[in-house]
């Protein structure tokens, strides 16, 4: 699997949400609505989720192992840093 494109969208409100991202895999599959979060000095991505009837949230899509999650997180935050530099 290759991450072929990452689009970053600025968050409209201040708080732990830094931005949103859409990721294209292998120029064939898109994941929309990934949230970039900085909470308590820890940066991570939150995958798109839906609310269940019991009030809990469940990811719609997500990496199946930590290696893929790490690669995805690193690539998304690298695109976020480039996005910030382009805004200056």
The pLDDT value given to residue 27: 97
| CA–CA distance, 27 with 84 (Å, rounded to integer) | 24
Domain count, the chain: 1
* CATH number of the domain enclosing 73: 3.30.1120.40
Q: State which residues form the domain around 21.
A: 3-87
The pLDDT value given to residue 14: 82
Q: What is the pLDDT of residues 28-83, one digit of tens each?
A: 999 999 999 999 989 999 999 999 999 999 999 999 999 999 999 999 999 999 99
């Amino acid at each position: 699997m290759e991450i072929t494109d990452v689009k970053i969208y600025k968050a409209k409100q201040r708080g732990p949400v830094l931005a949103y991202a859409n990721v294209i895999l292998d120029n064939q599959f898109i994941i929309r609505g990934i949230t970039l979060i900085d909470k308590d000095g820890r940066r991570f991505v939150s995958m798109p989720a839906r609310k269940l009837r019991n009030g809990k949230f469940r990811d719609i899509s997500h990496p199946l192992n930590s290696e893929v999650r790490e690669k995805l997180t690193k690539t998304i935050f690298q695109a976020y840093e480039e996005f910030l530099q382009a805004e200056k």
